[in-house]
């Protein structure tokens, strides 16, 4: 069996994306990561390194703004699509993939503002079948922005009352995106909520109640196993 060559592109400002994602990667895979904070974060010839899978992490950056790496990141995403490299986007990464392939009209600041907590995600029959999930699962959320347009041929997998596009898949272009964060486990997730207490309380979130909760599934195993092995 061909060894999986996985690249994690970590857009997080605190570099938390890599360890949170890497904990779910197979031990026999060739996994590397790059911290992305400037246009120089993308070394020349990166696209020629024959990655089989690329994962785009979440970030505190807003997709509706600009970042110094925007042009290089979007070009890399387009090149991966053109070379049939399998790509997964998580929250900001999910939004970035859609913006790179469709333009800025595909993303927006959510009119519902902040979504944060161990929130209910509602999965359709396709998602339940391919991911072996329940119709509703609690998974970590922390975002202000959202995707409102998907690449042609995409299939919606999940939604909730806050965000219509919570997850999708596109078999033709080998894209898999989640607005929620499957990589974040209960311990790491609740640490973020406690750290961001002032922000969450500004938006009327009950932090003490949130940290008493947790995920309903081992989301990292479910979603990354599917992305790496079944998709």
pLDDT of res. 222: 98
**Spatial distance between the Cα atoms of 1 and 82, rounded to a whole number of angstroms:** 24
Q: What is the average pLDDT value for the chain, to the nearest integer?
A: 97
Distances (CA, A) of 218 to 71, 149, 181, 231: 35, 28, 11, 19
CATH classification code of 5-112+141-184+218-230 = 3.40.50.880
pLDDT of res. 2: 79
Which pLDDT band, with edges at 50, 70 and 90, does 14 fall under? very high
Q: What's the chain's Rg over C-alpha atoms?
A: 16
Q: Phi and psi for 52 in degrees, rounded to 5?
A: -90, -30
pLDDT of res. 197: 98
Domain boundaries, the chain: 5-112+141-184+218-230
Which pLDDT band, with edges at 50, 70 and 90, does 56 fall under? very high
pLDDT of res. 231: 84
Return the closest-CA partner of residue 91 out of 114, 125, 122. 114
Question: Which two tokens mark 91?
Answer: 């929250």
Q: Give pLDDT tens digits for 175-223.
A: 999 999 999 999 999 999 999 999 999 999 999 999 999 999 999 999 9
Q: What share of the chain is helix, strand, coil (3-state, %, to 5)?
A: 35, 25, 40
Return the closest-CA partner of residue 196 out of 211, 176, 182. 211
pLDDT at 50 over 80: yes
| Strand 53-56 relative to strand 86-90, pairing | parallel
Q: Give pLDDT tens digits for 103-155.
A: 999 999 999 999 999 999 999 999 999 999 999 999 999 999 999 999 999 99
Query: Quick one: how far is CA 57 from the chain centroid?
Result: 5
pLDDT of res. 100: 98
Q: Give pLDDT tens digits for 23-36.
A: 999 999 999 999 99
Return the closest-CA partner of residue 64 out of 35, 95, 38. 95
Catalytic (active-site) positions: 91, 181, 183
Which pLDDT band, with edges at 50, 70 and 90, does 1 fall under? low
Return the closest-CA partner of residue 76 out of 54, 107, 61. 54
């Amino acid at each position: 069996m061909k060894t999986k060559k996985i690249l994690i592109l970590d857009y997080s400002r605190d570099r938390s994306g890599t360890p949170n994602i890497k904990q779910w990667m197979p031990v026999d895979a060739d996994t590397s990561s790059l911290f992305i904070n400037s246009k120089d974060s993308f070394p020349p010839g990166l696209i020629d390194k024959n990655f089989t899978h690329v994962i785009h992490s979440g970030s505190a950056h807003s997709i509706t703004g600009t970042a110094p790496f925007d042009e290089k990141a979007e070009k890399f995403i387009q090149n991966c699509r053109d070379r049939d490299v399998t790509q997964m986007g998580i929250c900001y990464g999910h939004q970035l993939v859609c913006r790179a392939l469709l333009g800025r009209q595909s993303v927006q600041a959510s009119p519902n503002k902040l979504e944060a907590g161990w929130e209910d995600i509602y999965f359709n029959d396709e998602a339940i079948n391919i991911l072996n999930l329940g119709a509703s699962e609690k998974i970590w959320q922390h975002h202000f922005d959202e995707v409102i347009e998907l690449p042609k041929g995409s299939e919606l997998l999940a939604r909730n009352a806050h965000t219509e596009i919570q997850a999708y898949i596109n078999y033709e272009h080998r894209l898999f995106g989640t607005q929620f964060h499957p990589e974040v486990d209960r311990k790491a997730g609740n640490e973020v909520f406690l750290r961001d207490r002032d922000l969450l309380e500004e938006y009327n979130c009950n932090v003490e109640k949130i940290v008493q909760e947790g995920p309903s599934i081992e989301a990292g195993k479910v979603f990354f196993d599917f992305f790496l092995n079944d998709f």
